């Protein structure tokens, strides 16, 4: 299965571009102390707003801090927020989706109405409200984005369970005396893995955007910790936009590259894990190979 998946991804240019982008970002985040040329929080007022040069590849900001170093260390924040928040969303969404789809009736009704309420609010406004109600910190960003993102994941898992629980092997397991827990963990959950992986990959991109938005508004990672969103916020005054556009352009490009990379990878995974899709074209059911 993994070999077939890799072959499909390797044949898809989008997958390779997205994978390379994600790998480069992860390497930069892991090796940040080695590739960053300066301390990202070190202030040098004598060197403020310097243009990109050999000394400062992406210039300096209004406090004389090296933009390249802050972008590299900011990658750690963005990737950490994306991964941790999606883990929280996965834990809540997958669990509630499995329970809702398997038991149905009032359990399903209660969980899905709670999901409807969560999805009824604009995501960004709900994030701002929750972050503002709590003490702004990295932990708050993790929890806020993760809690807000559970509803969509739960709906995806519930839909898969509603289909899978009617299949013969589930009825056979129940007839053989399998407990509800065994059926859910060993028979229903494995059939939800593919859509969950796709949703989580795309969700990381959304979480990176959400973290940048919260940090831009001052409700996310607090200074002096470097964050792409706060870097753009620091450079949003008209003087810097006119005389030192690199202070906002490069963090914006970093956000765009990260979001594009995860979206391309998520789209490619969706196609690669679809047995009716191979090599960028639809194929007949007789030609489809199970994944």
Domain 25-34+65-281 carries which CATH code?
1.10.3720.10
Q: How far apart are CA 109 and CA 115, in angstroms?
A: 10
Are 141 and 188 contacting, i.e. CB atoms less than 8 angstroms apart? no
pLDDT of the residue at 275: 57
Give 65-78 pLDDT, tens digit per residue.
999 999 999 999 99
pTM (2 d.p.): 0.84
Q: If pLDDT is split at 50, 70 and 90, which confidence band does 274 have?
A: low
For residue range 7-50, what is the model confidence (pLDDT) as tens digits? 888 888 888 999 999 999 999 999 989 998 898 988 888 888 89
The pLDDT tens digits of the residues spanning 140-196 come to 888 888 888 888 889 989 988 888 888 888 888 888 888 888 888 888 888 888 888
Mean pLDDT, the chain, as a whole number? 85
Every domain of the chain and the residues it spans: 25-34+65-281
Q: What span, in angstroms and rounded, lies between the C-alpha atoms of 5 and 23? A: 18
Residue whose structure tokens are 């210039």: 59
Q: 108: which strand partners?
A: none
Vertex 126, ends 121 and 132: CA angle to 5°?
A: 155
Contact status, residue 280 vs residue 271, Cβ threshold 8 Å: yes
Percent of the chain at pLDDT > 90 equals 27
Over residues 255-280, the mean pLDDT reads 78
């Amino acid at each position: 299965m993994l070999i077939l998946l890799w072959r499909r991804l390797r044949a898809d240019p989008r997958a390779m571009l997205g994978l390379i982008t994600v790998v480069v970002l992860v390497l930069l985040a892991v090796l940040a102390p080695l590739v960053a040329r300066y301390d990202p929080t070190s202030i040098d007022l004598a060197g403020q707003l310097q243009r990109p040069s050999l000394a400062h590849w992406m210039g300096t900001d209004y406090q004389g801090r090296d933009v390249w170093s802050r972008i590299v260390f900011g990658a750690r924040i963005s990737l950490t927020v994306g991964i941790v928040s999606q883990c929280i969303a996965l834990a809540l969404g997958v669990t509630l989706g499995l329970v809702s789809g398997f038991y149905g009736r009032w359990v399903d009704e209660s969980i899905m109405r709670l999901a409807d309420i969560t999805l009824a609010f604009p995501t960004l406004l709900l994030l701002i409200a929750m972050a503002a109600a709590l003490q702004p910190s990295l932990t708050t960003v993790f929890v806020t984005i993760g809690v807000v993102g559970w509803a969509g994941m739960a709906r995806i898992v519930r839909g898969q369970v509603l289909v899978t629980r009617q299949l013969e092997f589930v009825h056979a397991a129940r007839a053989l005396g399998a407990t509800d827990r065994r059926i859910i963990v060993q028979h229903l959950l494995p059939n939800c893995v593919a859509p969950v992986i796709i949703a989580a990959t795309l969700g990381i991109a959304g979480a990176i955007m959400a973290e940048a938005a919260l940090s831009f508004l001052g409700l996310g990672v607090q200074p002096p910790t470097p964050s792409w969103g706060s870097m753009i916020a620091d450079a949003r005054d008209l003087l810097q936009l006119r005389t030192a556009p690199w202070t906002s352009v490069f963090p914006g490009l970093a956000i765009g590259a990260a979001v594009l990379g995860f979206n391309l990878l998520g789209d490619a995974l969706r196609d690669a894990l679809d047995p009716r899709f191979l090599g960028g074209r639809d194929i007949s059911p007789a030609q489809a190979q199970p994944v």
